[in-house]
Structure 1
Amino acid sequence: MSMGLTRHQAAAAPKVFQLKHRLGEATVIKLLVVVLKCFCDSVRVPDKLSAAELIETAEVLAATYTHDSIKDIMLALKEARVGGYKFYQSVDAGKVFDIVSSYFEKKVDWLNSQHLDTKARSTSAEHSAVAQLVAAGAAVGGIGQRLDPTHPNHDSLRRKLTITNGKARRGLITPEQAEQQRQQVQQANQRKARTDWQPHAAAQRRIESRNTTEDRRLLAKYSQPNQ
């Protein structure tokens, strides 16, 4: 009955009080009697629990360990049988209670260890997530600082950069795709100076004519004496 049974399975199994509500107390005691009978049959000793003692022991276990599972009791008896417990030619109620009590003392330590392990894994995962966010934020900040604030499309480029990094953090795009999009932003951010640019000759003449006309208008306006 207890073949392959583990502490995790026993801890996750329905508790005795839950089985009492679901199946009834009499059924729970019968199940415990079966467990105890199988245990006694598996131990090679001449003196074992009688039928009345089996029922009485099952009743005490059901009343004592209400918030533990029957599988816990099965595992306790199994560990005692295979772990070298000294029965000294007999199995009585006192030895059963001693076995089960010792098991639950160890279970408390095991549960505490499981809690600490889970907490450590959770903390490690949180630290890893924070580190990733910090690294991503630093990357965004570094690239953002390199964006030309005078660029006419500065806001659009920064927004695209933010979206790219958000997708990368959520795994919606691969790191290679994210890097490619960042490079595209940087390329769009570059503005080459056109120091060699000069207007067309006709356009240059129109510009000079317009400037000359404006200069004459201003000169005529401000050179008139006050009336």
Structure 2
Amino acid sequence: MVPANQTPESHLLATAAAATTSALAAASTAETRAMLADIGIGLTKAQALAAPKIFQLAHHLGERAVVKLLVVILRAFVDSLRVKEKPDAADLIALADDLARTYSHDSIKDIILALKEARTSGHNFYQALDVGTLYKLIAAYFEQKACFLENRHLDQKATGASQQAQAVQLLDDAAPRLLAHVAQQIPADHPNAEHLRQKLTITNQRARRGLITPAQAQQQRAEARAATQRQTRPDWKAGPEAQKRMDKRHREENNRLMNGNHD
């Protein structure tokens, strides 16, 4: 039984530390196999990918401790199969050492999941299991993992492209609101307030019809914003004749914008 204050992983590590490598490679126990089965419950490639890497464990625990862990895992798998011919202790130790070096940037949980999938996939061992077969089973898992990572990368790229398209659409949808916001910022007492609002409306309409490019529309909006900036002159007010001339000039400019004519 695993103590209540220990996880299966920590108990497995303690089990490996309490015995010699040779003893661990010679035989497994029902308790060890149960611990590994517990670790494998619901285990996925994504979880195995997120687990500490073998080289990281080797750095913290030592290379020999990692090899002993792999020996425990391999021995438990071999003993779980009802085959007559099985690898001996020396073979399993050599395989564990090779796996620690070959898959140093993968995790112990990858190895556990690889063997779990091999055992539950219906693979026929024909009453015999050798080190070569074990290695092929584990290598096949890592080929599948490579495909899994490639597909996940493609999914992430597709999701990113979709999010980018949504962002562009949001900007397009927000353009009328931005235009209205700019129009609302035009001071009500500005002498050209009505003209500037009309100019922004015309710019928006022409942009929607494709009569001007987005860059031209942006430039015209920027010009409208710039036109709202003026020095405060509370004593200034256009006379009646001057106001008429300004109104006429504004109407002519509006017509020019609507008709697409340029001076």
Note if 1:86 corresponds to 2:124: yes
Distance 2:182 2:118 in 1: 67
Q: How many residues align?
A: 154
Distance 1:146 1:87, change over 3 A: same
Distance 1:26 1:140, change over 3 A: same
Map 1:17-32 to 2 at 5 A. Answer: 17-32=55-70
Point out the structure with max Rg over C-alpha.
1
The aligned counterpart of 2:75 is: 37
Distance 2:162 2:113 in 1: 32
Q: Deviation at 1:144?
A: 4.8
Structure 2 segments unaligned to the other structure (5+ residues)? 1-35, 198-263
State the Cα deviation string for residues 17-45 of structure 1 (Å, max 9, x = none): 11111110000000000110111122121
Distance 1:24 1:140, change over 3 A: same
Note if 1:97 corresponds to 2:135: yes
Distance 1:46 1:136, change over 3 A: same
CA RMSD of aligned residues (A): 2.2
Q: Deviation at 1:50?
A: 1.6
Note if 1:133 corresponds to 2:171: yes
Distance 1:145 1:59 in 2: 69
The aligned counterpart of 2:41 is: 3
Distance 2:185 2:57 in 1: 70
Structure 1 segments unaligned to the other structure (5+ residues)? 159-227
| TM-score, scaled to structure 1 | 0.62
Note if 1:62 corresponds to 2:104: no
The aligned counterpart of 2:189 is: 152
Percentage identity across paired residues of the two chains: 48
Q: Deviation at 1:134?
A: 2.4
Runs of 4+ in 1 over 3 A off after TM superposition: 144-150
Distance 2:137 2:99 in 1: 12
Distance 1:38 1:148 in 2: 74
Distance 1:15 1:31 in 2: 13
Distance 2:187 2:73 in 1: 81
Distance 2:127 2:106 in 1: 29
Q: Deviation at 1:150?
A: 7.3
